[in-house]
Amino acid sequence: MFLKHTKSLRNSILVGTALSALFICMPASAQATEKQNFDIKPQSLSSALMDFGMQGDIEVFFVEADLKGKTTNGFEGTFSASQAATRLLADAGIAYRIDANGTLLVGKAYVRKSVAAEKTVADKVGTKDAKPARFQLAQVVQEETGDIIEAKDQVVETPQQPEKPDEIIVTGTNIRGVGPVGSQVFTYDREEIDIQGYSTIPEFIQSLPQNFNGGVSESTTGLSFEYGAGDNTSQGTGINLRGLGNVSTLVLLNGQRLAPSGLTGGFVDISMIPLAALDRVEVLVDGASAVYGSDAIGGVVNFILNQDYDGAETRVRYGLATQGGLEEITVGQTFGKVWDKAHGLISVEFNHRNPLSVKDRDFSQDANEFVDLLPEQERRNIFLTGGVELTENLDVSTTAYYSLRNSQQTRINTPTVPPKFYKSKNQHYGGAVEATWDLDPLMGNKWQMEMVGSFSHSDGFTRLQDLDQVDSDGFIFNRVTENLSAGVKLNGSLFNIPGGDVKLAVGGNIRHDSFGDGDVSEPGILVLGVNEQSRDIYAFFGEVYLPVVGEDNRIPGVERLAFSVSGRYEEYSDFGSSIDPKIGLLWSPIEGFNLRGTYGTSFRAPLLSELDEAGNAAVLYPSELNSNSPTGTSSVLVALGNNADLQPEAATLWTAGFDYQPDALPGFTLDATYFNIDYDNRISSFPVTGVLNDPSAAPFTNLNGPDSEFLALIENYRLINLAGIDLVDADATADIRLQNIGRNKITGVDFSALYSLDTATLGSWNFSLNGSYVFD
């Protein structure tokens, strides 16, 4: 195929407008429902799409980089275009749709298509024997930069050798080229985020129905202590899927973990990631400890950086509040280059926003005039990605980033305490190197080895002082967290069965986590420090994909049937181990209708800060309610703080759902998923008030006073005597340190409806409805 390709420089000024429209009803293209003969041979997916377009007289758009390393087993028969596309792409782990004009859009072209390519594709195949058909085909190799692609008369040649496998990031599975069986993954493209008018990653994440905004965010800092919001001294933003807390959502960057932030290291600060460097966001709303290990209970959010970008983009955005003095400006610049065997990208972004005062909102007019609802923020980022094909069978890719965010805010933590001024500086930096070795020449069956090493560092400095204090007074928090990891994974096909290739992925991972204080000391300043803590984690994992029924052996009522079984073992140097399995099922009784489900377990390891007892205290209270006491009250000696004996939180999860894409209405998708989460052994503590009367606290109280075991426990704790009596004379004791005492049982439904409509005169329209309803 011969393509004339003219490069252009795209300078985009994004002003952040929102567009809404009434639903437009138009007849669907008959092209998608007409039955035609297809004979697609086993080959690379890109060449199969070319054959698909030629045989079906169908226009096809795709991005070459999306399909690298993907293959198909082929199929033969008489199908509609929609049915044939499903058979070709259902196992590819990539989004696709047929629009109202009968055009097949694959991968990045699913959500946006080059207008220039639409207008200039050829009207016929340029082979001597080819009939002048309606067939139109273009590979959108530079679509992201707005490059003009002009296709002349074409000769489509099937490659003699399959394409070499390349890195393919699929959230929720270790199997290359296959999406997570039974689980639902939502993919949000950067351009889609821009169109919706969001200027930052936190703004977008807070709009997701599955994300609960009661956790860590700049808008809840100081106003709420639910879900770890009190941990947020630096005005960062976390992710709280399912409302289970920020600690129960795993956040990844290009599939790798990030160092957590906060006073206790309890959340990943997503405000460090700039939109300018982003390609897409993948959100898995299901447990995934069988794939990723700890924290993946509420779900997984994977931020995928732009890599195969060729061109330049300038972003300038200005916004202001309709009420009050809040203003925001974002300036970003991205340069990318793709060569024959290498690619590189650099993206920088600057963002500044004024504070929002309580006096700027009607609901807070009576609050202290010095208090800010939102802090002043200033952020600078630089992100780099690159890759090179070292040999025919070995690719190396790398990522590096640095982010600096300064913020300041005046707020009230309690009504009786004067306003405090918070000033923070947060730095994040790190990177990853990944090598992908194609083992197919040695082992056959498309085997591949992936080796990756990553490093992530977070340094948060916060100064807290009264409004009338100078900088030499007050308190300092300085928390530093790091993780360093290395892993290897083998991935390939075991053998072929009538339903398709049985695939296997196995591997291991070593990770070192640390948490502690930075090297900060200032005369006259009280540094609220912690002990240095660290641990090592060793993991082994495996996953099998089993396509029981596929194109070659389908029967009425079973168009497709596939299973996946995965498991992961993790050994921690500080508390023990965890084994987590997961099973996934996908059944297609008819074309365009899928039933799916999953069952598995997940866990969350205790935070390093939760295991550190260095700051614990023993407090003797003179009078607490006690229904067993003749006086109704008792003196009680309590142990407060962290607990070195904590065990991991554990969850059992299962889901059941469906996806429906009717042939009669191309571009329409309806899906729903029921979820059930039983989250046990949650880490929490009892309040001292009422603890002696709480039946659930009975295992942690002693109404007969201190015994030798309790006195040994608090021997090295800081003692606070509020009763004026000897500790041994206390009437009762209570161990209200952190304990594995909590439990959440959550059920609900995620649902979405999407309709994509392309018109000849009014452009492309996307209509969507997304929601999540929690029953209890």
What would the pLDDT profile of 459-470 be if each residue is shown by its tens digit?
A: 988 877 766 655
If one counts the domains in the chain, the total is 3
Residues 386 and 453 in one domain: yes
Tell whether 111 is covered by a domain: yes
Residues 119 and 197 in one domain: no
Residue 607's pLDDT band (cuts 50, 70, 90): very high
Residues 276 and 298 in one domain: yes
Final residue belonging to a domain, choices 108, 129, 151: 151
pLDDT value for 469: 59
Residues 584 and 616 in one domain: no
Residue 473's pLDDT band (cuts 50, 70, 90): low
Residues 202 and 287 in one domain: yes
Q: Which of these ranges, 242-251, 313-322, 539-548, has the smallest mean pLDDT?
A: 313-322
Residues in the chain: 776
Tell whether 486 is covered by a domain: yes
Dihedral of CA 627/629/633/636: which sign? negative
Parent domain of 145:
3-11+30-151
Tell whether 21 is covered by a domain: no
Residues 565 and 616 in one domain: no
- Kindly state the tokens that stand for 506: 């196995």
Give the CATH number, domain containing residue 100: 3.55.50.30
Residues 541 and 621 in one domain: no
Give the CATH number, domain containing residue 566: 2.40.170.20
Residues 413 and 495 in one domain: yes
Q: What is the DSSP string of 438-489?
A: E-HHHH-TT-EEEEEEEEEEEEEEEEEEETT--TTSSEEEEEEEEEEEEEEE
Residues 474 and 355 in one domain: yes
Final residue belonging to a domain, choices 128, 151, 174: 151
Q: Please report, rounded to a whole number, the percentage of residues in the chain having pLDDT higher than 90.
A: 49
Q: Examine the pLDDT at 489 and tell me if it is beyond 70.
A: yes
Dihedral of CA 757/763/764/768: which sign? negative
Greatest CA span in the chain, whole angstroms?
104
Q: Examine the pLDDT at 254 and tell me if it is beyond 80.
A: yes
Tell whether 180 is covered by a domain: no
Tell whether 162 is covered by a domain: no
Residues 213 and 313 in one domain: yes
Residue 117: helix, strand or coil by DSSP? Answer: helix
Tell whether 730 is covered by a domain: yes
Rounded mean pLDDT of the chain?
81
Tell whether 167 is covered by a domain: no
How many Å separate Cα 458 from the centre of its chain? 18
Residue 774 CA to residue 776 CA, distance in Å, equals 6
Tell whether 195 is covered by a domain: yes
Rg of the chain on CA atoms, in Å: 29
- Residue for token pair 């009786």: 416
Residues 260 and 241 in one domain: yes
Residue 172 CA to residue 759 CA, distance in Å, equals 35
Q: CA 251, 254, 255, 260: dihedral to nearest 10 degrees?
A: -30
Residue 508 CA to residue 541 CA, distance in Å, equals 6
Residues 69-124 pLDDT 10s: 677 878 887 778 877 888 888 767 677 777 656 788 887 544 333 333 333 332 32
Question: DSSP secondary-structure letter at 558?
Answer: B
How many CA within 13 A on the CB side of residue 54?
20
pLDDT value for 593: 94
Residues 564 and 626 in one domain: no
Residue 38's pLDDT band (cuts 50, 70, 90): confident
Final residue belonging to a domain, choices 132, 151, 170: 151
